[in-house]
Copies of this chain bind each other. A is one copy, B any other.
């Protein structure tokens, strides 16, 4: 059976694995990204991990896949920009990885590869169409259609967090006014709390013990656990906004299978029911009847598996 190396370059760790065609992870290596976040340093680190995996492999892997957060032109193997690695602009990571490992390399956006991993081996197994959303600081997206990752014209597909859900939305100070991820990602709690009426807002902020901008999903979840009504309502409003954007994606793609990943997904029961209600208001009943929303199943292995399988598809 063919195998490939899968690599998930995160902001904190580089994870590598030896993966077979069925998506089974045969071996793993990982290491923290050091202080030197240049692509040279990260690629050297990655090359060491890959060399260890190759040395232990029974047979030579066929190819190598690598996921990076940000905008990636996978046709060219080039990282166009990455929020986690500010100096990686128009960097030919694919060619560099091939140079240091000797393996044919496929590079892609990390969420795209998570989506492929979940579709082939995780929560979306058995479905040919799937939308993966990672709910973190922003909303990452990976879209699989007919079993293949949607790439668009050159790597800018799946930037679903920049879908506009409030055309007259206020600029939060970082641009992109009205974007979905200002409401339905971590930063959404600040956006939504700021819209509370003055009295409840002040009471809530006092209870939270932090500035509105410093509100985290974890803190709001703690307050909701403690019975704070505003906190419960904020999670529901978060879910409503999540559902509004999901309904738009359903209407656009005709795809009704979603996999949700990222830390916030741990608070599932606080927001998924509200998301379902919003979806039902904004799409056809036939789509609601088919709707499947699942938590991501592969955890930290999603990127390793997805990147290796994408590499094997192309080999």
Q: Evaluate contact between B254 and A158: CB separation under 8 angstroms.
A: yes
Please give, as numbers and ranges, the residues of chain B lying within 8 Å of A251 by CB-CB distance: 156, 159-163
A244 and B167: CB pair below 8 A?
A: yes
**A164 touching B247 by the CB < 8 A rule?**
yes
The interface size of chain A toward B, counting residues with CB under 8 Å, comes to 52
Residues of B within 8 A of A80 (CB): 286
User: Which residues of chain B have C-beta atoms less than 8 A from A245's C-beta?
Assistant: 164
Asked if B153 contacts A254 (CB within 8 A), the reply is yes
- In angstroms, Cα B71 to Cα A197, docked, is 42
User: How far is it, in angstroms, between the C-alpha of A183 and the C-alpha of B167 when the chains are bound?
Assistant: 10
Nearest-Cβ distance from residue A165 to partner chain B, whole angstroms: 5
Q: Evaluate contact between B252 and A157: CB separation under 8 angstroms.
A: yes
Contact between B160 and A252 (Cβ–Cβ < 8 Å)?
A: yes
**Could you say which of A10-18, A144-152, A206-214, A217-225 contacts chain B?**
A144-152
Question: Given A165-B167, A168-B166, does the pair A71, B152 have CB atoms closer than 8 Å?
Answer: no
A252–B196 CA distance with the chains assembled, in angstroms:
30
Closest to A175 in B: B281
* A252: B residues at CB distance < 8 A: 141, 143, 157-160, 163, 249, 252
A-B contact pairs, 12 of them (CB 8 A): A71-B284, A143-B252, A151-B254, A153-B254, A158-B252, A158-B254, A162-B251, A163-B251, A164-B282, A167-B240, A178-B282, A249-B252
